[in-house]
Structure 1
Amino acid sequence: MSEYERSRTMPALPETVFDQACDLNRLDAWLPGDLHVRPDDPPAVTVHEDHTGQDSAALVRAEKDQMRMEWGTRSDGRYAGWLQVAGIGSGASEVTVHLSFFDESHDPGDGPVGDALDQSLERLAEQVRLRADTAG
């Protein structure tokens, strides 16, 4: 099993960050560019991977009272992950994303996964910034 984790500070309230991150219809705005999520019958979703052309059955659950979202593949248990938002004061938040690959053959490796996590957090920060600009 391989595990990866990245964190990033965002200048927004945790509720704002969490709401943006957990909107099933807007996950594509911050997930890695080659992943696309289609809500089926939540918590059931379908994840399409551009590089393989395959669809995977997955689950996504968001617990607003815990500011935590969890996801993973349904049938084959290849991977799972979570996102946690925590307030750090002064209207800022820290977002942590964690991925676990249970099947080593599906683990892209430290470099690609780290880059994807960093880019995803950057994209989420941009979406949060755009939302704050629109609201303000």
Structure 2
Amino acid sequence: MTIHARRDVPALPDLVFNAAADPSRLASWLPGPHEVVGRSDDVLILRGGGSVDEGQRQVQLAADYDRLLLTWEPLADEGCRGELRVSLAGAAGSVAELTVDGCPDEQFAARFLEALANEVEQNLTAG
């Protein structure tokens, strides 16, 4: 099932995108039950995710910094795929749009965007 979510973030698009695309930063705010347990270049090793077997799975990240587009694909046949697009909204705000497919957790997209917005607001913006 494909799920789409959208969230306004009061920060410039580059800040929002960098918080999502940087694997080490992503590991600090990724919402549970997902957990980054390792990484190698553009591959993340995740644990959790609401599946029957809470084992580890690998996903490959692809970040297009020019288009502010982050995609991830599972390296196995099954798993959650996603596409995050960040764009300018107003003078100093952003809109983050996330489309996921194959995720067993129907609330993942909304929780992901909420956690991303919280990370940006708490740790990357002045004030």
TM-score normalised by L of structure 1:
0.80
Aligned to 2:6: 7
CA distance in 1, matches of 2:108, 2:86: 18
- Of 61-70 and 47-56, deviating more is 47-56
| Mapping for residues 63-78 of structure 1, pairs under 5 Å | 63-78=64-79
Aligned to 2:23: 24
Unaligned runs of 5+ in 2: none
3-state SS of 1:83 partner: strand
Deviations 1:42-70 (A, max 9, x none): 21221111653300121011111110110
Cα displacement (A) at 1:36: 1.4
| Mapping for residues 39-118 of structure 1, pairs under 5 Å | 39-49=38-48, 51=50, 52-101=53-102, 107-108=103-104, 112-113=105-106, 115-118=107-110
CA distance in 1, matches of 2:96, 2:83: 10
Question: Going by fraction, where is helix more abundant, 1 or 2?
Answer: 1
**Conservation of the 8 A alpha-carbon contact between 1:59 and 1:73:** yes
Larger Rg: 1
Q: Does 1:131 align with 2:126?
A: no
The structure 1 segments of at least 4 consecutive aligned residues displaced by more than 4 Å after TM superposition are: none
Cα displacement (A) at 1:131: 2.2
Aligned to 1:120: 112
**Conservation of the 8 A alpha-carbon contact between 1:28 and 1:35:** no
**Conservation of the 8 A alpha-carbon contact between 1:57 and 1:74:** yes
TM-score normalised by L of structure 2:
0.85
The number of residues matched between the two structures is 125
Deviations 1:56-109 (A, max 9, x none): 1210111111101100111224331111000012101000011011xxxxx53x
